Every structure is written in structure tokens, then in C-alpha cells.
Amino acid sequence: MPTFAPTATDTETHCPYCAFQCGIRLGTADDEVVVAGNPAFPVNKGALCIKGFTSGETLRHPDRLRTPLLRTSDGTLAPATWDEALDRIVAGVRATQESYGPHAVGVFGGGSLTNEKTYLLGKFARVALGTRNVDYNGRFCMSSAGGASIKAFGVDRGLPFPVEDIAKADVILLVGSNPAETMPPLMQYFGAQRAAGGTLIVVDPRRTLTAQSATMHLRLTPGSDAAVANGLLHLLLRDGTVDQAFLADRTEGFEELRGVIATYWPERTEKVTGIPEAELVKAARLLGAAKRPMVLTARGAEQQAQGVNNVLAFINLALALGRHGQPFAGFGTITGQGNGQGGREQGQKADQLPGYRRIDDPAARAHIASVWGIPEEEIPGPGRSAYELLDEMGREGGVRALFLMGSNPVVSAPRALHVEERLRALDLLVVTDFFLSETAALADVVLPSAQWAEEEGTMTNLEGRVILRRRAMDPPAGVRTDLEILMAVAERLGRGEHFAFANAEAVFEELRRATAGGVADYSGISYDRLEARQGMFWPCPTDDHDGTPRIFADHFATPSGRARFHAVRHESPAEEPDASYPLYLTTGRVMSQYQSGTQTRRVAQLARLTPEPLAEINPNTARRAGILDGALVTLTTRRGSSTARAKLTRDIREDTVFVPFHWGGTASINRLTNPALDPTSRMPEFKVCAVKIEPHSVRQGAKSA
């Protein structure tokens, strides 16, 4: 890779990947697109991970799609003109809706889309297609955290405080998160916290890189998160270290919780969680003595069929410790996808309208109808959540045609083989992407779209900071932006008057009006204001408002203004190990890959670092199964089989196997994961299911292929 010294003419923009949205400077050297960290952006302060440094490689990649593709009568995908592709889409949509009704066409979005795309995709579904069935892959990411935050605080902003608060917390409980691998520049804040004498307690079944850097590591049994939280709260009560003044002044519902917490005495908690009583007692004492305690959760606790209850249990703990809403303390969740925050606010969810409004709220519907210029009754009601939408594709009552943007569910959805089968059952699958992802390869129509640095838009990072992602270069000839694609399809469907935007900024201007008065109020944020500063925190309700870095300083967004406790219990995972499937399977990410890997698997340096998934197995477990380090292993659950290379490590519990989910085909671990859904968030249980492992054989390889 050529060396790169950024100049004043290089473009300041943001990394295309995770929710940290690192500031970057993008330029060219030796005719290659190159990237450096932007020290002026106050979140990453110039630091980048390997994914960010190499992100320029995707822009001129030879695999880029440069022309629409249409499925031909012989079953192959062939190049076509934009007119041919758009005609095919419109004919397919009309035929489907005439035969099965408006809701038989579905829309599936993504948590990496800009706010403008998210907003326009939700509007496209409701106004251009008239369908209620729109949801997105963020349902698989942040929905449990969001559901719990709304229950407890009345609002869902992942971190309700700036990320820099992490550095000044004196004791942090970090649950189900491994930022040392997934978000390395975030570690500078944990490092500063430790350097200032702070304590970091990590809760994770694996001894991850993050856990290795911690003061304490609580190695819980997968799926026992709520029991850990309840057990720690039991000890706080026993030790008298609950913040009674905070409970009295700023919360409600604690008395209902007392009886539940009484049943989580240490011996029971140890039995359920596998964490020795002495470690629980030590952690509770550290937390109880903290002056600025902080509790952070992430996907480990959230991607479960009881994900909302898990998060509520940790919110209970954080509230009992007090100071939530004050600087350097409180509860937060660490968002994963690039626009995981904005993506869940602007209306691409089945039950939601822009501004984090509920689609079943008459006042919200009336407001959005007035912004969209349509009668309120034209806005459909709530539709199916992501997995339910995918599960019912091609069946009676399910969607028959799907418009998919910014997602690759063949790799990222649970029970992926089944999802692939349902995608094949559609009458029409339209995919917009810049590479031929595993899902795009199944499509009837593939539309080539512009990438991050080729278009303008806003993103909202893990702090709720809205940032401007600037355009640095033109897209390749033949490629259109997602916004242009949505406008073109809407035009051909006869709804063009509602989709006449000159550019992304014009979409944002309408988004501002749509969010005005909503929970996630962006109405005081403009491109001009974002140009002049390094992002603005929502809510920002007026042109002279400076945004809200800390949203709970005075009150919570509940009717009473108080945070609510919830009396939640630990429930067993939907599937526990048994004689046939004797181990826990848990999944996650690695440093050099991002989500379904559509981009990062194509970056040479990243592919060299992790060319395939490694199954982390304890040596004792491997010996019993006859598995050698570095050998291929077959993993099987009730939903299918997958192949990975064994990495024997004592950093994982003997009863658990970890496999990252970035690959497709027979290396897809999501072929195995369990689509049991959380009753509130509809989050699938990615993080826990029962698995068996065995040495891979050629016969198995043929069978699982």
C-alpha cells in the first residue's frame, strides 16, 4: 500500500464500516485511493482500525457492479440497461400487487444506509409501494437495546452521553462487547480510564482481547446475562451500596423488583452463570464503591430471545448504582452497524415513522402525512419484523416480491439456509448493491449502486452524533446512488411527485421537517451546520440549538420523567445443550472483517489476515471430539451444518464454541443459528444455541454443500 500524507485538498469524511464512524481523510497516492485517520474528529482522534485504513480498496475494486443485471430465461444474470431493469421491477411490482395486494411487496433495508436513504426507503415503502412490510437488518443488531431503553428511559439513544465519558468513569461493567477487536479505536477511552486508575470488569463467555485487558473477567455461561445482573444487584442490596437518594429522586418501580432480586442469592447465581461467588462478590463491591459507575452492554447480551430482559436487568443494575444522567456514569449500549443509530430512527422499521415515531400513533401519522403530502389513511399500519418477513417470503400471506437495499441476509440472517430457500421462492427479488453479494446472486434484478465515498449523506454514530459523510469522488460510469434508484422506481410507479429531490441534502431537509417534534428530533440540524462542526447530537429541535450530548441530565423521557425499573428474571435460552448437541454455540465478529463480509472479504489485506472462519474450541473439548488444532471441523445444529478451521484456545469455556459469522456458503455459521425471537424486539437468538462438533470429512463436506 502506498504511503499517504493527507493534504488540505483531501476529503474529510468517515469510515464506511462500524458505528464508531471514525473520521478519515481520503485522497490518492500512486493512483490508489488511500485513507488516513483524521485527528480533528474528536471521536477517533486520528486512530483507525485495519478495516478503516484499507477501506479505499473497495472503491475501485474489479468486482464492482457497473451495470444492472437481469435474470434471464436460462437462469443466469446478464447485463442490462437501466431502462430494462427499471421496467422489469415495475412490471413485477404491479403484477404482484394486482394478484396478492399491496402488502405482498416487501422492502428490506440496512443499518449501514445513510439517514437520507433510511428515510427515503421507509417513505418509498409506504408511499410508492403502499406496503406495510418494511424492515431491516438492524432488527438483528440493536433492536433489543432499543426496546429496553424505550421501556426504561422512554427514548433509545445507544450512548446517552459522549464517548469521552468512558475515560472518566471509575468502574465500568462491560457486557458482551469486544471493542478491542470490533472497534479498536474505542479502546483509547478504556485505556485512558485504566491509566487514570479506573477498573474495567468484562462479562463475556470468551477471554477476548478486551477481557484480557480488563481488571476482572466474569466468564458467564452463554445466555445467563440477566442472572449476572440480578445476582450483582442482589449483592449491592446485601452490602447496602444501592444509591437510595438516586432511586428516590429519579426512578420508579424499584420496590416491585426487590422480590425478584431476593431470589438471586450468590450460590444460585453462581450455579446459573458459572461465575464463582467470590468473583461476583468482588465485582459487586467494586461497582458499589464506585463514584462514577458505568454499565455498557452490546450484542453478547442483546442478541438473544430474552435480549430485552437482559438489557433491562443491566439497566436495573446501572440505575441502582445511581448517577445515570450525570457526567462519566450511567448506562449505555455500544451500537454495531455504521448507522445503527440513525438507521433505527428514520422509518425503515416495520412499526415506525421518521423521528422515532410509532406508526400506530395517530398524531405521528398525521404529522408525517402532512410532510409527505398524502392523506393519513394512506400510510399503512405496522408490518412484519425482519425475520418474520423473511420467513414468510413466497408463502400464503407473505411477501412475493422483495426490494432489498444494503443488506445480505443470506449470510447475516439466522437459519440462513432457510432464508436462502425463502428468497428463492419469491416471484421477484430486487437487490441494490455495489458487489454481487450472496443475496444479490439470487436476485432477478441487481442494481449497481454507489459507495460511501461517492455520495453525500449523514450518519448518526454510537453517541447519537449526526455527522456529514462527504462525497470524495464520482461513482463509476453506469452506477447510480441508492437515492437516485429509489426516485427512479418511484417515478415509474407513478409516485414521482413525492420523490423529486435534487440531492441528498434536499432529502435531509424533508427529514428535518419529518422529525420535528419527534423523539429523535433532527430539525435544528442542517448540512451547513454539520459542515461547520464535527457533528451534532440529537435531539436538536431548533436552528439555534447546539444539540444534546447528555440527554438524561435533568429528566428521563418517560411520562413521569423518571427512569423505570423492570422486575425481570433470567430465562433459559430457547435451546440448551443436550446429549445430541452438547455444546453452546456463540457467534460474533473478528477485527479484520465487517458484518456479512461483502466488502471486507474483497479487501486483499483483510482477506489475508482472516481468509476463513476459525472455530474457537477449548483444547479439552477438542480432545474429547478428536479435533486437532488447525483441522477442519464440522459444526451441526438442528438447522444445518457448517465448516470452520479449529483454533484451540483456553480463552473459551469448555462448554462453548465461538465462530465468526462473516462468511457465506458452507462457511456460514448463520446456517446454524436459532431464529427464536425476543417477544418485544423480535431479535433472533444469534448468541446461544446447541451445537455438536466433529472432525470434518469429505463425505460431510459433500453433504453440507
698: its cell numbers? 469429505
Shortest distance, CB of residue 686 to ligand SF4, whole angstroms?
20
Minimum distance of ligand SF4 from residue 55's CB (angstroms): 7
Q: What's the CA gap between 319 and 298, in Å, rounded? A: 18
CB of 606 to ligand SF4, least distance (A): 11
Minimum distance of ligand SF4 from residue 704's CB (angstroms) = 31
> Distance (Å, rounded) from C-alpha 511 to C-alpha 374?
16
Residue 4 touches ligand SF4, criterion: CB under 6 A: no
Q: Which stretch binds ligand SF4 (CB under 6 A): 18-26, 371-379, 477-485, 650-658?
A: 18-26
Question: 8, exposed or middle or buried, with CB in 10 Å at 0-12, 13-18, 19+?
Answer: exposed
Torsion over CA: 239, 306, 303, 688 (sign): positive
Contacts of 521 (CB under 8 A, 6+ apart): 355, 515, 538, 539, 540, 541
Smallest gap, in angstroms, from Cβ of residue 510 to ligand SF4? 28
Determine the Cα–Cα distance for residues 387 and 597; give it in Å rounded to an integer.
Answer: 20
Residue (142 or 287) nearer to ligand SF4, CB: 142
In whole angstroms, give the CA distance from residue 304 to residue 176. 11
User: Measured from the CB atom, is 51 or 480 closer to ligand SF4?
Assistant: 51
Q: Would you state the torsion angle of the CA atoms of residues 183, 188, 193, 197, taken in this order, to the nearest 10 degrees? A: 130
Neighbours of 249 (CB within 10 A): 10
Helix then strand then coil, in percent of the chain rounded to 5, is 35, 20, 45
Quote the least distance from Cβ 591 to ligand SF4, whole Å.
9
Binding segment (CB under 6 A) for ligand SF4, from list 157-165, 183-191, 322-330, 427-435: 183-191
Q: Considering only residues 24 through 53, tell me which ones interact with ligand SF4, judged by CB under 6 A.
A: 44, 48-49, 51-52
Using the minimum distance from each CB to ligand SF4, give the nearer residue, 77 or 334. 334
Q: CB–CB of 282/216 below 8 Å? A: yes
Indicate whether 20 belongs to the interface with ligand SF4 (CB under 6 A): yes
Which span sits near ligand SF4 by CB under 6 A: 11-19, 608-616, 652-660, 689-697?
11-19
Question: What minimum distance in Å lies between the beta carbon of 435 and ligand SF4?
Answer: 18
Scanning 5-13, 19-27, 143-151, 465-473 for contacts with ligand SF4 by CB under 6 A, the matching segment is: 19-27
3-state secondary structure of 614: strand
Backbone dihedral angles phi then psi of residue 575, each to the nearest 5 degrees:
-135, 120
Cβ-based nearer residue to ligand SF4, 44 or 385: 44
Residue corresponding to grid cell 420496590: 255
Compute the distance between CA of residue 397 and CA of residue 408 in angstroms, rounded to an integer: 23
In the bound state with ligand SF4, the residue whose beta carbon lies nearer, of 343 and 347, is: 343
Question: How far apart are the C-alpha atoms of 132 and 104, rounded to whole Å?
Answer: 9
Task: Assess 458 for contact with ligand SF4 (CB under 6 A).
Answer: no
**String of contacts with ligand SF4 for each residue 278-307, x by CB under 6 A:** ------------------------------
> Whole-number minimum distance, CB 213 to ligand SF4, in Å?
16
Site for ligand SF4 in 424-453 (CB under 6 A): none
Q: Which stretch binds ligand SF4 (CB under 6 A): 182-190, 246-254, 426-434, 479-487?
A: 182-190
- Dihedral, CA of residue 124, residue 129, residue 133 and residue 135, to nearest 10: -20
Cell readout for 81 is 440497461
Q: How many residues bind ligand SF4 (CB under 6 A)?
A: 14
Q: How far is the CB of 203 from ligand SF4 (least distance, A)?
A: 22
Residue 221 or 600: which CB sits closer to ligand SF4? 600
For residues 18 and 148, which CB has a smaller minimum distance to ligand SF4 in the complex?
18
| 22: contact with ligand SF4 by CB under 6 A | yes
* 185 contacts ligand SF4 (rule: CB under 6 A): yes
N- to C-terminal Cα separation, the chain? 36
17 binds ligand SF4 (CB under 6 A): yes
Q: Residue 135: which of 357, 412, 395, 407 has the closest Cα?
A: 407
Distances (CA, A) of 397 to 102, 139, 352, 413, 435: 11, 21, 21, 21, 31
183 is a contact residue toward ligand SF4 (CB under 6 A): yes
State how far the Cα of 444 lies from the Cα of 105, in Å rounded to an integer: 14
Closest to 333 in 3D by CA, of 147, 198, 209 = 147
124-153 binders of ligand SF4 (CB under 6 A)? none
CB-nearer residue toward ligand SF4: 106 or 185:
185
Beta strands in 269-400 (DSSP E): 293-297, 330-333, 352-353, 357-358
Nearer to ligand SF4, 50 or 473 (CB): 50
Q: How many CB atoms lie within 10 A of CB 555?
A: 14
Q: Which residues pair with 692 in a beta bridge?
A: 636
Contacts (CB under 6 A) with ligand SF4, residues 380-409: none
CB of 463 to ligand SF4, least distance (A): 13
**From CA 205, how far away is CA 649, in angstroms rounded?**
13
Rg (CA), the chain: 24
Which one, 190 or 356, has the nearer CB to ligand SF4? 190
**Rounded to 10 degrees, what is the CA torsion of 41, 44, 45, 50?**
-120
Closer CB to ligand SF4, 137 or 656, in the complex: 137
Provide the minimum distance between the beta carbon of 164 and ligand SF4 in the complex, in angstroms, as a whole number: 16
Q: Could you tell me the smallest distance in angstroms from the CB atom of residue 334 to ligand SF4?
A: 11
Site string for ligand SF4, 51-90 (x = CB under 6 A): xx--------------------------------------
Interface with ligand SF4 includes 573 (CB under 6 A)?
Answer: no
Q: Which is nearer to ligand SF4, 15 or 622 (CB)?
A: 15
Which residue in the shown chain puts its C-beta closest to ligand SF4?
Answer: 52
Pick between residue 22 and residue 261 the one whose CB is nearest to ligand SF4: 22
Query: Closest Cα partner for 252 from 565, 555, 535?
Result: 565
Quote the cell numbers at residue 118.
Answer: 433510511
Nearest distance, CB of residue 142 and ligand SF4, angstroms: 15
Of the candidates 18, 65, 180, 313, which one interacts with ligand SF4 according to CB under 6 A?
18
32 or 376, CB closer to ligand SF4?
Answer: 32
| DSSP state for residue 62 in the 8-state scheme | T
Dihedral (Cα; 111, 114, 120, 121), 10-degree rounding: -30
For the CB of residue 21, give the shortest distance to ligand SF4 in the complex, in Å.
Answer: 5
Contact between residue 135 and residue 398 where contact means Cβ atoms under 8 Å apart? no
Query: CB of 183: closest distance to ligand SF4 in angstroms?
Result: 5
Q: Which of 4, 10, 15, 226 binds ligand SF4 (CB under 6 A)?
A: 15
Closest approach, Cβ 51 to ligand SF4, in A, equals 4
Q: Is 190 one of the binding residues for ligand SF4 (CB under 6 A)?
A: no
Give the nearest distance from C-beta 181 to ligand SF4 in angstroms: 10
Site of interaction with ligand SF4 (CB under 6 A): 15, 17-18, 20-22, 44, 48-49, 51-52, 183-185
